Amino acid sequence: MTVFTASGFIGRLWRRTAAAGLGIALAAATATTAQAQLRVDISGVGATQYPIAIADFAGTSGGTSTHEVIRADLTRSGQFRLINTAGAQLNVQSAIDYGTWQARGADYLAYGSVAQNGSQYTVSYRLVDNVRKSELDQATFSGTESEMRRIAHKIADRIYEKITGVRGVFSTRIAYVLQTSNGYELQIADADGQNPQVMLRSKQSIISPAWSPDGSKLAYVSFESGKSVIYVQTLATAQRQPISNYKGNNSAPAWSPDGKHMAIVLSMDGISQIYTINADGSDLRRVMRSPLIDTEPFYTRDGQSLVFTSDRGGSPQVYKVPASGGDAQRVTFSGSYNISPRVSPDGQQLVYVTRRNGAFRIASLSLSSGAEQLLTDGPDDQSPSYAPNGMQVLYSSIQNGRSVLAVTSIDGRVRQTLSVLNGKVREPAWGPFTN
């Protein structure tokens, strides 16, 4: 780990590029399936756990077990306690004996049916409250066999929202960079790490992936030309275009909430400074002038301000400035090293990387009260990214000597580890809600 100092503050942002050398990136003409699935390990439970039974869905579902995907999703959240259904299979028309299921300890019951007609599948599901003896939700989805996991995730999202009152994120996606002996891959995957797809392959470093607000595009930094260039790639077509290729370093793209602008970092004047630019690369504007390094910008929820990292006070801290320019105000005061800020979807919290007793950990800060909470233990946790519902934080981590992705709940009680058997995963970004 390269330590930030007043003279070497940008070191961490480029630490992966020093050994990269020169080469040519290979853009995937279309998204290709990655070989390595992310394995999920879970520890801890939420402060509140809802007892729920997920009965086996009746019918055939191709290669995907709908009920097993739903169970795995709810388990990963740490907010549900699964009641053993003892192999009970219910179809969507089954009469429910609320008392029997309540006696088993299940306050809630989800069940359903899967029907196949040629290459199309129809999934119908129900969710009931056994305590109030009432139906909470019902829905029907259709899709091909390849869409069955997505449908199961959507059902899990509905269950999560009906019971907790918070929108579920199981059907969202994550982006990350996988480094192997053959180079680098920009991948996207389901939020549970399944169905990974390669969006870009390169012999050189790929860093800083950032989702557009509608989830249709990724911005990222590629070194394929021998220097850093910011690209925007459309996921559906894999078409991409450079939107920032100025003298020096082009880095740290961050989308505005309306998707029309980006904040980026350029060193064309000799030191890294923050600029805004239209999403098509036009209308470059400098936000402010600083004698020291400003980097890692991120828009606030209203799009009117940027939080960013700067060593202008002698050590790296988080600051806030109007996106149109103006005076910067310091945000973090605990500790001497705080970087990589991200604002929560509701605009109330901030997560960032902090160094405490030599360990790099993920911290959360209430923007109203200033109260700080350390969410992870380190020793090398980096690149935090909020889930779109604000309930979890995705980050990269070194655990037992391995580079992995990890997820923590916002209270730090529930943690997941997403790891691959071969390679290093880093630079994670959690995608937005898409519908």
Q: What is the tens place of the pLDDT at every residue in 231-282?
A: 999 999 999 999 999 999 999 999 999 999 999 999 998 899 999 999 999 9
The verdict on residue 435 lying in a domain is no
Choose the final residue of a domain: 164, 193, 216: 164
- pLDDT value, residue 88: 82
The token pair at 26 is 């290979």
- Tens of pLDDT, residue by residue over 158-214, are 999 999 999 999 999 999 999 999 999 999 999 998 999 999 999 999 999 999 999
Identify the bridge partners of residue 116 per DSSP, sorted by sequence position: 121
145 and 64 Cβ atoms separated by less than 8 Å: yes
Mean of per-residue pLDDT scores for the chain: 89
Question: Do 305 and 373 fall into the same domain?
Answer: yes
Q: Higher-confidence residue: 9 or 183?
A: 183
Model confidence, pTM: 0.89
My answer on whether 238 and 332 are in the same domain is: yes
Q: Among 18-22, 208-212, 235-239, 358-362, where is mean pLDDT lowest?
A: 18-22
Contact in structure between 89 and 145 (CB atoms under 8 Å): no
| Residue 56 region by backbone torsions, left for phi larger than 0, else alpha for psi between -120 and 50, else beta | beta
| Domain assignment of residue 332, yes or no | yes
The answer to whether residues 219 and 261 touch, using CB atoms and an 8 Å cutoff, is no
29 and 71 co-located in one domain: no
Do 118 and 206 sit in the same domain of this protein?
Answer: no
Q: Are residues 151 and 261 located together in one domain of the fold?
A: no
**Looking at residue 114, which CATH number applies to its domain?**
3.40.50.10070
What digits encode the pLDDT tens for the residues 378-418?
999 999 999 999 999 999 999 888 899 999 999 998 888 88
| Cis-peptide into 379, omega within 30 deg | yes
Tokens of 164: 């907790």
Band of residue 423 on the pLDDT scale cut at 50, 70, 90: confident
Residue 32 has pLDDT above 80, yes or no: no
Task: Based on the fold, state whether residues 122 and 20 are members of the same structural domain.
Answer: no
Split at pLDDT 50, 70, 90, the class of 39 is low
Structure tokens at 43: 């520890």
User: Residue 363: what pLDDT?
Assistant: 98
Using pLDDT thresholds of 50, 70 and 90, give the confidence band for residue 61. Answer: low
Residues 124 and 177 both lie in one domain = no
Residues 97 and 245 in one domain: no
Residue 284 has pLDDT above 90, yes or no: yes
3-state class (DSSP) for residue 95: coil
CA–CA gap between residue 409 and residue 415 (Å, rounded): 6
Residue 2 lies in a domain: no
Structure tokens at 3: 């330590």
**Looking at per-residue confidence, does 43 or 105 come out higher?**
105
C-alpha span between 410 and 167 (Å, rounded): 15
**Residue 116 within a domain:** yes
Helix axes 66-77, 148-164, angle to 10 degrees: 40
pLDDT of residue 37: 53
Per-range mean pLDDT, top range of 32-41, 60-69, 337-346: 337-346
Together in a domain, 348 and 417: yes
The last residue of a domain, from among 102, 135, 164:
164
The percentage of the chain sitting over the pLDDT mark of 70, rounded to a whole number, equals 89
CB distance 176 to 209 below 8 Å? yes
Q: For residue 384, what is the domain's CATH number? A: 2.120.10.30
Instruction: Provide the residue range defining the domain that includes 131.
Output: 49-164
DSSP letter (8 states) at residue 101: H
Same domain, 300 and 369: yes
Is residue 318 within 8 Å of residue 297, measured between CB atoms? no
Check: CB of residue 233 under 8 Å from CB of residue 199. yes
**Looking at the domain assignment, is residue 1 inside a domain?**
no
346 and 260, same structural domain? yes
Report yes or no on 3 lying in a domain.
no
Angle (CA) 237-195-429 rounded to 5° is: 75
> Does 223 map to a domain?
yes
pLDDT of residue 19: 31
C-alpha distance from residue 165 to each of 157, 161, 168 (Å): 11, 5, 9
Structural domains counted in the chain: 2
Same domain, 299 and 417: yes
Q: Is the pLDDT of residue 229 over 70?
A: yes
Residue 182 lies in a domain: yes
Of the three residues 136, 164, 192, the one that is the final residue of a domain is 164
Quick one: pLDDT at residue 420?
A: 72
Looking at the predicted structure, is the pLDDT value of residue 7 above 80?
A: no
Cα dihedral: 154, 160, 163, 166 (round 10):
-110
| Of 194 and 296, more confident | 296
The runs of H, that is alpha helices, within 83-224 are 98-103, 148-164
